[in-house]
Structure 1
Amino acid sequence: MSLRDVREDITRWAGRGDPIAIATLIAVRRSAPRPPGARFAISGTGELAGSISSGCVEGDLHERLTALLGGGAPATVTYGITDEMAAGVGLSCGGEIDVLLDPYDPGDPVWHRLWQLQEAGAPSVLLTGAAASTRSRHLLLEADRSLGTLGSAEFDRRARSRVNEWLDRSDAQVVELVRGDPESAVFVESFVPPPRLVIVGATPIAHALCAMAARTGFEVLVVDPREAFLRPERFPGAAALDARWPDEALEALDLDPRTSVVTLTHDDKLDEPALESALASRCGYVGLLGGRRTQRKRREALRARGLDEATCDRIHGPVGLDIGARTPEQIAVSILAQLIALGRAP
């Protein structure tokens, strides 16, 4: 479970004065049940929250975190099935993981500010020291401010210089702030709003895709100037419905690298301005419904509008993975599968 998932328990324990220790999954090699950023926390009264694995390492982690609360030192622990650990704790999935063990300090202003940002849905980046010299230190980065320190002005400066890069992604990873220097290793977590999917065209495919994508964690916006098709009851999973023309609607949005635009109208009056606006933006994915003839016609129209071949090559068309989809629901599955395969999903 992620930091967001255990936040409520952690703040409740801290509110009553319990000491708290947290295990953070910071690296995965081969396969593992959970991604980096998963948390397992314990309170001084014996309560538990979260999970690092499917249950195969939590017992050992509980003992280590209990020892940490008793005065032990923060540490990084590696688990996995190796020759040395064959008779000990291992991962049934055959992977190997690194877990950071740290005490939680409720008085650290980094945590207070991070909880505020998460409540507001505002983006931020949390850096946690992953080396002996930086362990138990935290640096919180926002687009225009920083809070906390990694204990080194040089490390803080290098981290600050990369904030925009990290705010454009939603993963978690260990990074060496100084290449080749393991003492500069930090665990970087990007807490950003969910990726957006802008669907142009309130069609039956859009109806199915909106429902699936919303359940998968996308913030979905549906754009169509044909208000008769853009009825709220058809798109209950949408975060917003926009009845403006596609170019006007898209130009009003900040189409950043974490935004995907899919055009499903089969109408050149709607497809072309939508594609032109999407391709002129920083959005990370542009998909166009239609077979080869439609793809060719749309590209010709875009080139007539002044777009070059390289820009047109950003279009994924026909949109979706080739799984032999026929029905609107199947096509929606193929589109969502492509977004997931290309790393566009949460």
Structure 2
Amino acid sequence: MLDIAAELDRWCEQGRDFAVATVVATSGSAPRRPGAALAVDAGGTAVGSVSGGCVEGAVYELCRAALESGQSVVERFGYGDEDAFAVGLTCGGVIDVLVTPVRSAPAGPDGGGEPSAAVRPAVAAALAAAARGEAACAVRVVDGPAGLLGGALYVRADGGHTGTLGGHRELDRVAAGEAKALLDAGRTATVEVGADGSRCGAPVTLFAESSVPAPRLIVFGAVDFAAALVRAGSFLGYRVTVCDARPVFATRARFPEADEVVVEWPHRYVESTAVDGRTVLCVLTHDARFDVPLLERALRLPVAYVGAMGSRRTHEDRLARLVEAGLGPAELARLRSPIGLDLGARTPEETALSIAAEIVAVRRGGSGAPLTGGATPIHHDGPRGPAGAAAG
């Protein structure tokens, strides 16, 4: 749901009623990850996708029905060999979809109103935060006692929350704690809460969907290869920074697609800027004056990826210098050098593609091997970044 927050936030501001179908669980070769969403408004307008086209028509109708009834529902879509024309995923995967109506019906005589109306404030708050680029987590019930399906909780980065999961304060408290932990890690996941933890008399399955600011890609070295990598990084959803100590090269005119261009010595910049476990550092300078002081610091940071450009001879010289600087085997093993996968790349654009491919492989736990003739899974559940990315 939060992956289409910008559009749904506009719908909320316009007072439009809608239902949103969100992938909450997958298995096999499912085309979209948990968090992928399709929303349909009262006029029949649709935005987003849950399957890349396989079951969109059926999910569209589920949304229309949920808008009419005001009731949330969970539906499973898979592939049945016995009926090739049945609605399902031709890729062989299975997805569970949670459909939540978000209506603005007035409250009833008891002040409670219908479930979908009670959901709207929490959903709207989560969508607004995600649309602004802030960290936000939306929690909904996937399975549990009657009356809980249809609740929603918006959890902020500080753990504060808005909304309720069926009016159970203890469940709201536990859910907010679980959501904050996932939000800190930039993850979207289902969470099982036991009967004791939920205080609802039965176990509850929650879906906590996180939206976090875009991960950072910092490119060191204002060279032609950097310009191509900036474009590739932006395409992959990173917030891209170019850093170089030479003001004549590090200019906005040369890197118009970068989110930020910084004139600074690379090692000084990496010491002062904010990084986290999703940050990617690409060193394209292949000049020992810049590389060694930078890598000495970068390889000790808790980042997702550190890669450095250069020939194999440059790599061996660089390793020797880093050993002299005091780095140990575990730190040196983190260095991806020469940077990128072996695609036979020659041009800056091809080189950027090889680097981007390695970043994705590290992020998703892929091997980088051809899929043709292989027996490994197409989709991996290995190391992950946002997000989303949403993450998430």
Per the normalisation by structure 2, the TM-score is 0.78
Q: CA deviation at 1:91?
A: 1.8
CA root-mean-square deviation: 2.8
2:216 equivalent among 188, 196, 219: 196
The residue aligned with 2:64 is: 66
CA contact (8 A) 1:14 1:20 kept: no
Aligned in 2, Cα 1:6/1:58: closer, same or farther, shift over 3 Å? farther
Q: CA deviation at 1:286?
A: 0.6
Q: CA deviation at 1:338?
A: 0.4
Aligned in 2, Cα 1:6/1:301: closer, same or farther, shift over 3 Å? closer
CA contact (8 A) 2:340 2:354 kept: yes
Residue 113 in structure 1 maps to residue 125 in structure 2? yes
In structure 1, stretches of 5+ residues that fail to align are none
Q: CA deviation at 1:125?
A: 2.1
Q: CA deviation at 1:67?
A: 2.9
CA contact (8 A) 2:2 2:209 kept: no
Q: Per-residue CA shift, 1:200-251, capped at 9, x if unaligned? A: 1111211211122222322111111011221222211111111111121111
How far apart, in 1, do the equivalents of 2:129 and 2:175 lie? 23
Q: CA deviation at 1:6?
A: 5.8
Q: CA deviation at 1:29?
A: 1.9
1:176 equivalent among 173, 176, 192: 192
How far apart, in 2, do the equivalents of 1:85 and 1:14 lie? 43
Q: CA deviation at 1:310?
A: 0.8
**What amino acid does structure 1 have at the position aligned with 2:239?**
E
Q: Per-residue CA shift, 1:264-316, capped at 9, x if unaligned? A: 11111110121122122221111111233322322232232222221121111
How far apart, in 2, do the equivalents of 1:262 and 1:160 lie? 35
The residue aligned with 1:140 is: 154
Structure 2 SS opposite 1:342: helix
Q: CA deviation at 1:74?
A: 2.0
**What amino acid does structure 2 have at the position aligned with 1:32?**
A
Residue 82 in structure 1 maps to residue 80 in structure 2? yes
How far apart, in 1, do the equivalents of 2:158 and 2:304 lie? 23
Residue 257 in structure 1 maps to residue 277 in structure 2? yes
Q: Identity across aligned pairs (percent)? A: 35
Q: CA deviation at 1:81?
A: 1.2
Structure 2 SS opposite 1:237: coil
The residue aligned with 2:33 is: 35
Structure 2 SS opposite 1:235: coil
Q: CA deviation at 1:112?
A: 3.5
- 1:196-215 residue pairs with structure 2 within 5 A? 196-215=216-235
**Larger mean Cα displacement after TM superposition, 57-66 or 192-201:** 57-66
1:309 equivalent among 329, 345, 354: 329
CA contact (8 A) 1:143 1:164 kept: no
Greater than 6 Å deviation, 4+ residue runs: none
The residue aligned with 1:153 is: 170
CA contact (8 A) 1:255 1:278 kept: no
1:240 equivalent among 255, 260, 271: 260
The residue aligned with 1:299 is: 319
Aligned in 2, Cα 1:84/1:22: closer, same or farther, shift over 3 Å? farther
**What amino acid does structure 2 have at the position aligned with 1:92?**
T
Structure 2 SS opposite 1:130: strand
1:129 equivalent among 135, 138, 141: 141
Aligned in 2, Cα 1:120/1:162: closer, same or farther, shift over 3 Å? closer
Count, aligned residues:
342
The residue aligned with 1:277 is: 297
2:308 equivalent among 268, 288, 302: 288
Aligned in 2, Cα 1:279/1:13: closer, same or farther, shift over 3 Å? closer
Q: CA deviation at 1:52?
A: 2.1
How far apart, in 1, do the equivalents of 2:358 and 2:177 lie? 33
The residue aligned with 2:94 is: 96
CA contact (8 A) 1:251 1:277 kept: yes
Aligned in 2, Cα 1:159/1:312: closer, same or farther, shift over 3 Å? farther
Aligned in 2, Cα 1:190/1:138: closer, same or farther, shift over 3 Å? same
Per the normalisation by structure 1, the TM-score is 0.87
The residue aligned with 2:350 is: 330
Structure 1 SS opposite 2:242: strand
CA contact (8 A) 1:155 1:184 kept: no
Q: CA deviation at 1:331?
A: 1.8
2:55 equivalent among 54, 57, 62: 57
**What amino acid does structure 2 have at the position aligned with 1:113?**
A
